[in-house]
Amino acid sequence: MSTALLVFRREFAGYFATPLAAVFLAVFLAVAAGMTFFMANFFDRGQADLSAFFLWHPWLYLVLMPAIGMRLWAEERRSGTIELLMTLPVQPWQLVFGKWLAAWVFAGLALALTAPLWITVNVLGSPDNGVILASYLGSWLMAGAFLAISACVSALTKNQVLAFIGAVVIGFLFVMAGFDLVLAAVRPWAPDVVVQAIAAMSFIGHFQRITDGVLEAPAIIFFVSLIVFALWLNVQVLDARKAA
């Protein structure tokens, strides 16, 4: 685990070695605030809570998390440093976990910087802070799932643009899985168990239950399982490349 933490420290410091971190954080905060106050009509709702803020997180992460994750392995492959990493006495899972953890903590930092919104709603009224805390935790878990998918796709190509597009497409499928439009298209030809399985893969469905104040085990297990599975696939990709 100490090796994975070393990888984490290297990757996390790398975000701040260039203006990338500042640009991403500024974009995240600006877009999140814009969606909250303008698109979700925060002031017109007459409610002192952050439901308008969390409403857009799945769509926000659909683009911004792949933007973070696309470089995790694609850049290593493009620069040729992945061959050096493969020769080091380091287990692939340590590299995978360390890189993903750095991206996840960076996403957590972006979320933490939205704390003034939480303070604002407490000044304006008396929100249910337990629900807000659960929503923050659920949002961070969902960000981790998006990043794990992005990292896995990034390991498949040296082109960051392709890694970004691939991660967005896969993430979009998970976001749309629970929509009635998708389920209605599947019901005529698929058995009910398949329809239910597709509905159960919805990021929005699980996240909405958390933002309703129900930090239930199925939603947590879903996101954690997806993270573990995507990271496991990432390790398999690296093992296959190492064997080749």
Q: How confident is the model at residue 42 (pLDDT cuts 50, 70, 90)?
A: low
CA distance 112 to 119: 12
Backbone angles phi, psi at 177, to 5 degrees: -55, -35
On the question of pLDDT at 69 being above 80, the answer is yes
Residues 6+ apart with CB under 8 A from 243: none
Mean pLDDT of 150-173: 90
Q: How confident is the model at residue 66 (pLDDT cuts 50, 70, 90)?
A: very high
- Averaged pLDDT score across all residues of the chain: 84
Q: Which of 144, 132, 126 is nearest to 215 (CA)?
A: 132
* Percent of the chain residues past pLDDT 90, beyond the cut: 29
On the question of pLDDT at 39 being above 80, the answer is no
CA distance 47 to 49: 6
On the question of pLDDT at 122 being above 70, the answer is yes
Please tell me which residue, 79 or 126, carries the higher pLDDT value.
126
Mean pLDDT of 69-77: 80
Write the DSSP assignment of 150-172 as a string of letters. HHHHHTT-S-HHHHHHHHHHHHH
Q: Does residue 154 contact residue 163 with C-beta atoms inside 8 Å?
A: yes
Please tell me which residue, 7 or 169, carries the higher pLDDT value.
169
Go through 38-63 and write b for each residue having 16 or more CB atoms within 10 A of its CB, e for each that does not. eebebeeeeeebbbbbbbbbbbbbbb
Burial class (CB in 10 A: 0-12, 13-18, 19+), 111: middle
Among 72-76, 115-119, 172-176, 240-244, the range scoring the smallest mean pLDDT is 240-244
Burial class (CB in 10 A: 0-12, 13-18, 19+), 185: exposed
On the question of pLDDT at 65 being above 80, the answer is yes
On the question of pLDDT at 106 being above 70, the answer is yes
Please tell me which residue, 76 or 104, carries the higher pLDDT value.
104
Q: How confident is the model at residue 243 (pLDDT cuts 50, 70, 90)?
A: low
Hey, where are the domains in the chain? 2-243
Q: What pLDDT shows up at residue 167?
A: 93
